Amino acid sequence: MTSRNLCFKLMREDIKRRVWTIALTILSLVFTLLVPVAIKTGAYLDELSRGYSVYEKQWWLRELKSFVGVNGMVIFILVALSVVWAVSGFRYLHNSRQVDFYHSIPVKRGQLFLASYLNGILITAAVYFVIQGLSTALILRTGIEGFGGDGIWWKMYLLNMMYYIMLYTTTIIAMMMTGNIVVALLGTAVFNGYGPAVVLLVRGYQEMWFHTVCETAKNSMVWIRAVNYSSPFANYMFALEDFSYGRLGVWRMTRVAVITVVLAVLAYALYRIRPSESAGKAMAFKRTESPIKILIALPVAVVFGILFYSLRSTVTWGIFGVLCGSVITCCLMEIIYHFDFRKLFARWIQMAACGAVSVLLILAGIYDWYGFDSWLPKATSVKSATVTIGYEENWVTYGKPATDKDYLGRERTIWSYESQRDYQYRTMELTDVYSVMELAGKGVRANQEIRRRGSQTWNRWSDEYYSGWKQCVIGLRLNNGKEVFRKYTIPADDETKALIAAIHDNREYKKGTYPVMSQTSADTAAVYFQQYDQVQALETNEEEKARLLSAYQKDLEELTMAVREKELPIGTIQFRTVELQEAVDYYRDRDQGDEGLENRCYYPVYPSFTRTIQAVREAGGQVEEVNAQMIAQISLRYKDVYEGEDMTEDDAARAQAFYDDREIVYDQKEDIDTLSKALIFMDYYNMNPYYQADFADNAHATVTFAQVRVSPYSIKHSADCQIDFNRLTQEEAKMYGLRRYMEESSD
């Protein structure tokens, strides 16, 4: 009892010397929370008297909730107060006279620590609770419906206070380990920022030097978690995000409480063993100086090395940057430790060691001493593989409808996207890995050549031999259960094209790339066929849907690279899933549009898809390839003028019309007959980048159909097109002022 009474007396005395801190706490929270709430509630009552719509009410509810919820200004103030209370409570430890005075009082050190430590928590907690409660009462006084039922005000209070205590305790640890307030503040910044900075540096190091590193959803989660748990402040920010989305569980907050208790015990232990004579020095414990300096100098030196190397891409400049970063950091640390510029090189051996280790880290990245980019397992050790070939299939829609809320809290259905790469990782299993391993081998050899020649020399050399490059992401599932993913940049030579064709033609590749290949008739609600923006709803029963789906899956499975190089789609087909149909109906019932859901998940129909075309016609659909009879006119908008030396006078006179941004409409039969055979509809071309087209670069075509075509949203008269030189003679191209830029540069 005597000990408890003594602690209370010490707390009262501590409060007397920190009145300014209490005043600052009250004023800062009043003006960042209570006053804004009072202003906003008054504005809401004024609006209420004039009447408001349902949407306006939802907006006001969201606005008022944000004040007692995740309020950025309140969070900033609490973070700042955690530092202020910690510094004001233990600043006497950094003054030798005050230390002598406090330690001469016939009171145990533990009592002194608890008095200051508890005041920094209890006073802030009481002030924040009162102001949070008053703010909530003001909002409830307005009578707005929907507020308070979820207990957001007290949940936010508990969350903020738990992290306040953690940050407050972290700052106290920095105060215990240092003898100067400025150094203590720097230490607090290090404790809260060092972890995330190192995690981001490691990731940047990988992206800089590991040329084949591949980012997956699983890897991204590992990095996010690493940043999340790397410092108290980072964990606080992630907790706020999770709270906003309702993902913050009790177990996580329990862990925060346990970690805070551990930090408090550590702070108390440091206080007990802290030498009184350390007041006024940079570091309270001499043994911590070297480890802290090394831990800071190494990352900074690596950052300098990466920065200088990225500017010039030479090893010499990379090493120069490392040495500069190492020397500057070590010298600054020594100045801070000794408060003396003459101690720049007090520990020159440590400086040299830091520089040497940092140089080795940079060289290891430059020359791949880790063997990361050159690693390639034996084909016999690979169980299955996945391959993502650049952006060739970026027209495929991945994902599914999902329920969400807009900024006013209204429920809506959106499309929850999934990346092509993640979908293929999840679904593709190529068991014939020969072509995959050959493709990976070419990527490894290309990367080794880049490292050997240097990036600048490599660019000049590669342009002489290759006309392009292929970006391929390869995932390997090994027999031992390990999954490895690599991203390769591969020369697009004939061998590469043959390997990609072999992979593309594999049924397992298509099944892992196109979601429609795994769809069943039971999952299919309706079938739609579309040509040139004309959508046709096919009248199908369960049997006809199954026949249509089976026909398309068979045609798509047999589609080869050779066919795609020669054919373009003539239409698209949608096997609308039950889930997608429900989402579309959701918007139709509410007369809110459909968020573009009706246009998703269309797949190309090629002229060689005879089974699908026949099934579409049997279901009442019309399938017709574009011809001159369908077109009323073709307009060409020119970018420049054809001025060949071999032009006749008639050609030259005609060319006068082909000015920049000049649009010429061709509606005569002979013009339409000539141009229509060379039209490339861009919507279909974008679904097949393998098609070998040679576009006219100086003109863009717009086709106006003879018959009005109706889409779900508007009446369509026209479609965007390009002109393919492969389908025109030189005389025909010249007649319409069409040219390639290569021809222009050679004239």
For the stretch 89-127, pLDDT in tens is: 999 888 888 887 877 777 777 788 888 999 999 999 999
Structure tokens at 579: 């889930």
User: Do 407 and 244 touch, CB atoms closer than 8 A?
Assistant: no
Torsion of the alpha carbons at 584, 588, 594 and 598, rounded to the nearest 10: 40
Q: What is the pLDDT of residues 146-189, one digit of tens each?
A: 676 678 889 999 999 999 999 999 999 999 999 899 999 999 99
Helix (H) or strand (E) holding 172: helix 152-177
In this structure, of 265-279, 599-613, 668-682, 717-731, the range with the lowest mean pLDDT score is 717-731
DSSP letter at 146 equals T
Cross-strand pairs, 724: 695
Q: How far apart are CA 194 and CA 546, in angstroms?
A: 59
Give the chain's end-to-end CA distance (angstroms, integer).
102
Same domain, 520 and 488: no
Please classify residue 340 by burial: count the beta carbons closer than 10 Å to its beta carbon, then call 0-12 exposed, 13-18 middle and 19+ buried.
Answer: exposed
DSSP letter for each residue of 87-145: HHHHGGGG-HHHHHHHHHSSS-HHHHHHHHHHHHHHHHHHHHHHHHHHHHHHHHHTT-T
- Among 332, 258, 324, smallest CA distance to 293 is for 332
Residue, of 337 and 390, whose pLDDT is higher: 337
Whether 623 maps to a domain, the answer reads no
Same domain, 452 and 492: yes
Same domain, 109 and 19: yes
Structure tokens at 354: 């830091």
Cα Rg of the chain, angstroms:
35
Same domain, 191 and 330: no
DSSP letter for each residue of 573-624: EEEEEHHHHHHHHHHHHHTS--TTGGG-SEEEE-TT-HHHHHHHHHTT----
Q: What is the DSSP pairing of strand 715-723 with strand 699-710?
A: antiparallel
Which residue blocks in 419-493 are alpha helix, DSSP H?
A: 420-427, 434-453, 455-465
Among 279, 300, 327, residue at a domain's last position: 279
- Whether 709 shows a pLDDT value over 80: the answer reads no
Range of the domain at 436: 379-511
Same domain, 444 and 332: no
Predicted confidence band of residue 60 (pLDDT cuts 50, 70, 90): confident
pLDDT at 599: 83
Same domain, 161 and 261: yes
Q: Average pLDDT, stretch 364-368?
A: 90
Q: How far apart are CA 710 and CA 718, in angstroms?
A: 11
User: How many structural domains compose the chain?
Assistant: 5
Measured from the Cβ of residue 729, the count of other Cβ atoms closer than 10 Å reads 10
pLDDT at 82: 96
Q: How far apart are CA 468 and CA 456, in angstroms?
A: 16
Predicted confidence band of residue 696 (pLDDT cuts 50, 70, 90): confident
Whether 632 maps to a domain, the answer reads yes
pLDDT at 715: 44
- Whether 396 shows a pLDDT value over 60: the answer reads yes
Cross-strand pairs, 605: 571
- Whether 743 shows a pLDDT value over 70: the answer reads no
Crossing angle of the two packed helices 217-228 and 232-244, in degrees rounded to 10: 120
DSSP letter for each residue of 412-440: EEEEEE--HHHHHHHH--B---HHHHHHH
Q: What is the pLDDT of residues 119-129, one digit of tens each?
A: 999 999 999 99
Q: What is the pLDDT of residues 313-341, one digit of tens each?
A: 788 999 999 999 999 999 998 888 887 77
- Among 84, 307, 63, smallest CA distance to 201 is for 307
pLDDT at 59: 78
pLDDT at 460: 46
Structure tokens at 735: 């007649």
Same domain, 303 and 230: no
DSSP letter for each residue of 517-577: GG--GGGEEEEEEEETTEEEE----HHHHHHHHHHHHHHHHH--HHHHHH---SEEEEEEE
Please classify residue 656 by burial: count the beta carbons closer than 10 Å to its beta carbon, then call 0-12 exposed, 13-18 middle and 19+ buried.
Answer: exposed
Same domain, 507 and 532: no
Cross-strand pairs, 469: 491
Q: Kindly report the backbone phi and psi dihedral angles of residue 632, in degrees, each rounded to the nearest multiple of 5, phi listed first.
A: -90, -40
- Whether 197 shows a pLDDT value over 90: the answer reads yes
- Whether 714 shows a pLDDT value over 50: the answer reads no
Crossing angle of the two packed helices 109-141 and 250-273, in degrees rounded to 10: 150
Q: Average pLDDT, stretch 280-306?
A: 91
User: Do 696 and 733 touch, CB atoms closer than 8 A?
Assistant: yes
- Among 509, 476, 445, 499, smallest CA distance to 381 is for 476
Q: How far apart are CA 483 and CA 476, in angstroms?
A: 6
Q: What is the pLDDT of residues 435-466, one digit of tens each?
A: 999 999 999 998 888 787 765 545 544 544 44
Cross-strand pairs, 721: 681, 701
Q: How far apart are CA 668 and CA 663, in angstroms?
A: 16
**431 Cβ contact list (under 8 Å, min separation 6):** 383, 384, 508
User: Do 661 and 638 touch, CB atoms closer than 8 A?
Assistant: yes
Q: Kindly report the backbone phi and psi dihedral angles of residue 348, in degrees, each rounded to the nearest multiple of 5, phi listed first.
A: -70, -25
Same domain, 478 and 588: no
Structure tokens at 674: 């000539």
pLDDT at 53: 60
In this structure, of 226-235, 568-577, 651-660, 712-721, the range with the lowest mean pLDDT score is 651-660
Same domain, 529 and 445: no
- Among 307, 309, 326, smallest CA distance to 451 is for 309
In the chain, the amino acid numbered 407 is: Y
Q: How far apart are CA 730 and CA 152, in angstroms?
A: 73
- Among 266, 298, 189, 201, smallest CA distance to 234 is for 189
**Spacing of C-alpha 612 from chain mean position:** 39
Three-point CA angle 711, 717, 722, nearest 5°: 105
Percentage with pLDDT > 70 across the chain: 88
Strand order in the sheet with 699-710: 663-666, 631-638, 699-710, 715-723, 679-681
Whether 284 maps to a domain, the answer reads no
Structure tokens at 527: 């079938």
Q: What is the pLDDT of residues 486-523, one digit of tens each?
A: 999 888 888 999 999 999 999 999 999 999 999 999 99
Q: How far apart are CA 440 and CA 474, in angstroms?
A: 7
Whether 373 maps to a domain, the answer reads no
Q: How far apart are CA 47 and CA 50, in angstroms?
A: 5
pLDDT at 169: 97
User: Do 344 and 361 touch, CB atoms closer than 8 A?
Assistant: no
Crossing angle of the two packed helices 250-273 and 152-177, in degrees rounded to 10: 30
DSSP letter at 702 equals E
Measured from the Cβ of residue 40, the count of other Cβ atoms closer than 10 Å reads 19
Q: How far apart are CA 128 and CA 40, in angstroms?
A: 19
In the chain, the amino acid numbered 411 is: E
- Whether 697 shows a pLDDT value over 60: the answer reads yes
The alpha carbon dihedral of 105, 107, 109, 114 has a sign of negative
Q: Average pLDDT, stretch 688-707?
A: 84
Whether 372 maps to a domain, the answer reads no
- Among 558, 555, 552, smallest CA distance to 540 is for 552
Structure tokens at 294: 């090394």
Structure tokens at 638: 């020119």
Q: How far apart are CA 705 and CA 390, in angstroms?
A: 35
Same domain, 507 and 524: no
Tell me the average pLDDT of the chain: 85
Q: How far apart are CA 301 and CA 673, in angstroms?
A: 68
Same domain, 399 and 268: no
